Amino acid sequence: MLFRNSMSLLIVSASLVAMPVVNTTAARAARPLVQQQGEGTPAQRLEVVRARLDTLRRTLNSAIAVYNANDKGKDKKKDDEKSQTMTATEDGAARLRGLEREVASFLSETANLRGKQDRAERFDVSDIAKLEAAVTDVNTRIDSGLQSTAEERRRLGGSREIAASGSGNKKKKEGFFGKLNPFGGGGTSKYEELTTTVAPGRDRELFEEAVRQTRKSSYDTARLLFQTIVTTYTESPFLPLAKLAIADTFYREGTTSALIQAGASYRDWLTFFPTHVLADDVMLKMAEAEMRQMGLPSRSTEHARKAEQQLKVVLQQFPATTLRPEVNKRLTEVQENLAMHDLDVATFYYQKFTLGTANNPKGAQSRLREIVEKYPNFSYTDQVLHDLARTYLDEEEPDEAAKYYARLMREFPNSRYAEKAGEELDKIGVARPSPDPEALERPAPVRPGMMGVIVSEILGTVPVTVRKDGVLISANNDGNDLIEEAVRNNGEVRDSSTPDAVIYRRAPARPVAPLQTTAPPRPAIPGNAVSGSTTNGTATPAVEGSPSISIQPTRPGVPLGNSNIPGQQQPAPLTPNPQLPTTPTTDDDAPTTSPSSTATPPNVF
């Protein structure tokens, strides 16, 4: 542990001398922040908000273009014949234009906050949280507005398509600057026509064009085309995959803000399609999005813990998934990061104890014990067992120390700590255990060398085997991914690779026997006859020579001594208290009794 700590100090010193800019950025990223809505630093959160608003504005502009084209086709001479009340078309157009203006104001506010961030001016971080909440609210209202006007825009777009085909309208050449703009520079561009006109089969055309733009890394244009399918063609078979492809474009983009949006988009997709055949793939991709944001173990472990939690959810909800080996591999990588963080903390606490600034090694001991219990596949488990046993020796608990030394020799006989553990067991007086045969053949764990540690510390990255492929779209663009299969099968993907999700139901009810309407006759028991008892409405006579027991209704006060049981002591009558006032008994308070010794229960019906 002292060697690892010295190496860390050497690496930090080298990074301070050679790369001061990188170290300053890492220190700023490692600083704890008060976050309300989003994740990441203030700059990252503002970038996420800007990207979301930009996407919303593009979507609204493409929808408003349908109404603008319809307004241009109207006869100007009939303006004075308009009704005073707004038609449904004008109402929908006004609603979308109002939302577009609201998005523009949020973009202006975002630019203002980003300017303050770039100029290092002071501002309240809660303003970002308020802006994020406002964007979430306007996003919901935009989705509602687009869905409510989808049918109307399809009608207007269809009539515009017919008019355009009848007039023989031709496209204008875009020119150099028009090619730089994804919507063209003047005239009617290809993407504007796709997003503003509606025709049979247009959803498939949008999907195919969006796939081509994704392969060209034109993610903004691809997201706009996919979003047009979601908001306009609500009955399209391509809708679930279009919504999932939007998340894939963020994941493929790979920047920090894009990965944050990818995780949110995948989670949103699962909310709408929890039983889809790709649900387990999407859950795994959510964990991989967190893994791609993981930092060094000596820094924040927020993303590593989120990835671990998500991977465990996959195994819990899909226990028979074919992705189980891959999920276990990812879980081992994430837990390696978490365990290394705990080992660094334990090293820090133990150094405080050795320097005399801590009274006992309890802090290091608890961290090391947590590693042993929670992370059994940690590559430094042999070192953890050795250090944990040493903390018990420092506390003069040799029996506890012997348990961990024996486990070290039994499970890690090829470790460099095995011989030290054997020597300590000899001092304690415990026999050395025999090594496990499988442990003797187990290869040594792969650990990074000195250069690997230096590179990781400088770059601030963690070696993981996460691929950059999306759920539908692969990174190498080979054309053999699921999205090409969806295009061939009209929005359907194979359903044999993913098992059904676990459905939790209540346990089946236990069989209950029906109640008997007629009670069976009970035989009379000698010596236990009851006077006045009935069976099936017939009185049961008492046995001769047996005592009779009278059944009386429940009454307040001490029971009356009119029982004929032999040997029963009769209670003494109550003596009235002369100090209490005497309350006259009314007819309602007085109990009703019959002259006979057997009282009949009152009829409650």
The Cα–Cα gap between 318 and 316 comes to 6
Q: Exposed, middle or buried, 169 (CB in 10 Å: 0-12/13-18/19+)?
A: exposed
pLDDT at 247 (0 to 100): 93
DSSP state at residue 602: P
d(CA 404, CA 386) in angstroms, rounded, equals 7
Q: How many CB atoms lie within 10 A of CB 477?
A: 13
Bridge partners for 549 per DSSP: 530
Q: Is the pLDDT of residue 226 over 50?
A: yes
89: pLDDT confidence band, cut at 50, 70 and 90? low
Radius of gyration of the chain, Cα coordinates, nearest whole angstrom: 40
589, two tokens:
């308070």
> According to the model, what pLDDT value does residue 307 have?
94
The full DSSP string for 370-392 is HHHHH-TT-TTHHHHHHHHHHHH
User: Which DSSP state fits 274?
Assistant: T
Which one, of 353, 390, 352, lies nearest residue 368 by Cα? 390
Tell me the mean pLDDT in the region 68-93. 54
State the Cα–Cα distance between residues 434 and 265, nearest whole angstrom. Answer: 53
Q: Which residues contact 258 (CB under 8 A, 6 or more apart)?
A: 51, 250, 251
pLDDT attached to residue 88: 53
What is the average pLDDT across 507-531? 54
Measured in degrees and rounded to the nearest 5, phi and psi for residue 184 equal 85, 165
- Residue 167, pLDDT > 80, answer no
What type of residue is 316? Q
Q: Within 13 Å and on the Cβ side, how many CA atoms surround 56?
A: 29
Tokens standing for residue 327: 């999920």
CA–CA gap between residue 257 and residue 392 (Å, rounded): 46
**Amino acid sitting at position 36:** Q
Whether residue 159 contacts residue 120, with contact meaning beta carbons closer than 8 Å, is answered with no
- The pLDDT of residue 188: 40
Question: Going by C-beta distance under 8 Å and a sequence separation of 6 or more, which residues neighbour residue 108?
Answer: none
- The vertex-602 CA angle with 597 and 603, nearest 5°, equals 140
Q: Out of 39-48, 172-181, 272-281, which region has the weakest mean confidence (pLDDT)? A: 172-181
- HSE of 341, CA atoms in CB hemisphere, 13 A: 19
Q: What's the rounded Cα separation, in Å, for the pair 499 and 320?
A: 7
Please give the share of the chain, as a percent, with pLDDT higher than 90.
28
- Helices (H) then strands (E): counts for the chain: 22, 4
Q: Which residues in 513-594 belong to E strands, given as ranges?
A: 530-531, 534-535, 538-539, 549-550
What CA–CA distance (Å, rounded) separates 351 from 343? 12
Residue 131 sits at the vertex; the CA angle it makes with 130 and 137, to the nearest 5 degrees, is 90
pTM: 0.62
Task: Work out the mean pLDDT of the chain and round it to a whole number.
Answer: 73
Predicted confidence band at 598 (pLDDT cuts at 50, 70, 90)?
very low
C-alpha dihedral (417, 422, 427, 432), degrees to nearest 10: 150
List all residues 6 or more positions away from 228 whose beta carbon is below 8 Å from its beta carbon. Answer: 59, 62, 194, 195, 206
Rounded to an integer, what distance in angstroms lies between the CA atom of residue 84 and that of residue 279?
Answer: 51
Q: What SS3 state is found at 64?
A: helix
Q: Is 32 exposed, middle or buried, given 0-12, 13-18 or 19+ CB atoms closer than 10 A?
A: exposed
Whether residue 543 contacts residue 527, with contact meaning beta carbons closer than 8 Å, is answered with yes
Region 155-165: mean pLDDT is 52
Give 348-352's long-range contacts (Cβ < 8 A, gap of 24+): 350/1, 350/387, 350/391, 351/1, 351/2, 351/5
- Mean per-residue pLDDT for 159-172? 44
Give the distance between the most distant pair of CA atoms in the chain: 122
Neighbours of 88 (CB within 10 A): 9
